[in-house]
Chains A and B, each alone.
Chain A
Amino acid sequence: MTVVPFFIIVSLGAAFLISVFGKHYKRSSDYLANSACFILLALSLYTLNLICKTPNHILVYRVGGWIPPIGISMVIDCLTPFMLITVNLVAFLIAIYSINYMERYTDKWKFYTLFMLMLAGMNGIIITGDIFNLFVFLEIAAISSYALVAFGTEAEELEASFKYAVMGSVGSSFILLGIAILYSYTSTLNMADMAKAITQKGPAKILPFVSVLFLMGFGLKAALVPFHAWLPDAHPSAPAPISAMLSGVLIKVLGIYALSRIFFNVFGMSQAVSRIFIILAIASMVVGSILAFGQSDIKRLFAYSSISQIGYIVLGLAIGTPLSIMGGLFHLFNHSIFKSLLFLNSGVIEHSIGTRDLKKMSGILYKMPVTGYTTLIGALSICGIPPLGGFWSKLIIIFACIQANHPVLALIAIFVSILTLAYYFKAVTPALFGREDGQDYKSFRKKASWAMNASMIALATLSIISGLMLVPNLGAGLLKDATSVLANGISYANLVFEALK
């Protein structure tokens, strides 16, 4: 029980300690950040274990000893450990990777401070049970990500960061406005209490308005299609570990987790909202993959494919049957693994070849086997090639579409999957397998260090074996429990209040 606030304490404490010591003791920032990430990962596994043992699978922590509608609460239900494990696993592997990668930037400790602050924000969003607290953590994560995008302080990075910051803070203002209206309607900020008040007062005209505000705000953070313009600039401009972090987990926690928590568990999913989500999801899938075709910059390609894959996740969640929600969550996990893997690989490639242009690369598979093969695994997984993780999650989503009587959606999902295969094949294959004469093999200046290789191999292994999560007794329980939290909808409020007694 006492373990719950440590997700915030460890990450925030590490951030502040790094900013105290990191300036004077060079290596201390590495040790502090990596050990903090490791502790967070261990804590999330422990939380999973803890939540399985508690009856009703829900834990409510009262911050400061105050009873929830008055004080802030932290809620752990089955969805929370799933998200915590996803975030902290990716963050831990990225922290290992950035030990060596970030050497080429000055002031590494500043990077680690911002990184840990971002992690604190994300962990906070996941465990909080209070809607304004969610906003504050969202802003912590968002502001540190604006700064991290501009970390290299080159012209393009600053421009991308400014664009991201403008759009991000407009989105945050929409969220704040939505929270204000919701507070005036329900006179509470606790999410469980809010859900209860909304069900008691019945449907009101104000709710669609608030839904639209939240959809704009969180949709912008998740880069759903009409709000996606910042992502293809911001994600490629950041240093590779941060691109991996942003594309891998940030858009999912800030956007999709917050959206699904609010729409499923507080408002209750209605037919109209789910239809809007489906339209946005389809738009993201199609537009993202079509735009990805024309890209020759490797990181830009990955960024566009992120938009397209986010569409899959939202599609799965929006259809709303238990099977489709499970597919959406499973795809969320898979995508965070293989997309961070691909971005880390792009970092190594940029590091050693000195360019991000796909046309100038060839034969990576022969020259840098680790990077080459892990890129291949990531790309195959994202395209949905059978034994890999991405295949299973896409398959579940497509099955769920058919099961829920949406054959058109299933067809679109298959079509986009083929498109994904096509643009990865077109872009990545020459870079990996090509043996052109013009290629100067001596241009591979530096190879990746063992720590970078280790984290890439770990992520690649995870994306190979993540299909095992569907096997009963291994991970299916975790996925099924996480699904049930969203599928149960607004009975979340009753569970929270029961846990308080």
Chain B
Amino acid sequence: MKAKNEPGMTLIVKTITRLTVGLILLYGIYIVSHGHLSPGGGFAGGVIIALSFVHLMLAFGKDVALKKLSMSFAGLLESMGAVMFLSIALLGFMGGYFFLNFFSKKGLPFHLFSAGIIPFCNIAICLKVGAGLFAIFVSLVLLYKTDE
């Protein structure tokens, strides 16, 4: 079933991947955005988002995945996530303390738009973790390839 010089796995895997990869990405985004209400949050969601790209890379080979999210862009996103997290923490000085939850003293349970800075922190962590994990995976793959 596999064409000779085509990178990646067989047609079955590719078809399934094409169907599922978007869903995995969406699920990751859901976990991130509901991190303050349900189990999960920035780290878990970020890992799932990174896994969707890793999935793409495993099925279609590294070039397809790198076209969607290049290595340098992943590195940039990672640093931006960290800078964003730090600036959210810095904004807490508006209320007088580092890391203060400055625009909502107390969140409402079970409401998506509550909890002040926590959802933003989750998004920042998600960027950092997702891009970071993807970058780690890609750099390990590239290290291995140079060996051959």
List residues of A whose CB falls within 8 A of some B CB: 2, 5, 9, 12-13, 16-17, 19-20, 23, 61-65
Which residues of the other chain, A, contact B97 by a CB distance below 8 angstroms? 62-65
Q: Which B residues form the contact surface with A (CB < 8 A)?
A: 72, 75-76, 78-80, 82-83, 86, 89-90, 92-93, 95-101
Known: A19-B82, A23-B72. 11 other contacts (CB 8 A): A2-B93, A12-B86, A16-B82, A17-B83, A19-B78, A20-B76, A20-B80, A63-B97, A64-B92, A64-B100, A65-B97
Contacts of A64 in B (CB 8 A): 92, 97-101
Smallest CB separation, A32 vs chain B (Å)? 13
Given contacts A16-B79, A19-B79, contact A65 B86 (CB under 8 A): no
Q: A2 contacts which chain B residues (CB < 8 A)? A: 93, 96, 98
The residue from B75, B86, B93, B96 contacting A13, defined by CB atoms under 8 A apart: B86
In the complex the two chains form, is B100's CB within 8 Å of A9's CB? no
30 intermolecular pairs with C-beta atoms under 8 Å apart: A2-B93, A2-B96, A2-B98, A5-B99, A9-B89, A9-B98, A12-B82, A12-B86, A13-B83, A13-B86, A16-B82, A16-B86, A17-B83, A19-B75, A19-B79, A19-B82, A20-B76, A20-B80, A20-B83, A23-B75, A63-B97, A64-B92, A64-B97, A64-B98, A64-B99, A64-B100, A64-B101, A65-B95, A65-B96, A65-B100
CA gap between A2 and B97 in the complex, in Å: 7
> Quick one: closest B residue to A12, CB to CB?
B86
Structural contact, A16 and B83, CB atoms closer than 8 A: yes
State the CA gap A65–B104 with chains docked (Å): 13
Which residues on the A side are within 8 Å of B100 (C-beta)?
64-65
Determine the chain A residues whose CB is within 8 A of the CB of B82 once the complex forms. 12, 16, 19
A13, A62, A64: residue with the most chain B Cβ atoms closer than 10 Å: A64
B63 → chain A, closest Cβ, in Å?
22
Q: What is the predominant secondary structure among interface residues of chain B facing chain A?
A: helix
| A61 CA / B99 CA spacing, docked (Å) | 12
The prevalent SS among residues of A at the interface is helix
Residue of B with least CB distance to A5: B98
Asked, given contacts A63-B98, A63-B99, whether A9 binds B86 with beta carbons under 8 Å apart, the answer is yes
The 9 closest A-B pairs by CB, nearest first: A5-B98, A64-B99, A65-B97, A16-B82, A19-B79, A20-B79, A16-B83, A65-B100, A16-B79
Give the Cβ gap from B125 to chain A, nearest Cβ, in Å: 14
Q: Which residues of A contact B99 (CB under 8 A)?
A: 5, 63-64
Inter-chain CA distance A61–B93, complex, in Å, is 13
A105–chain B nearest beta-carbon distance, Å = 18
**Complex Cα gap A19–B75 (Å):** 8
Min Cβ gap B88→A in Å is 12
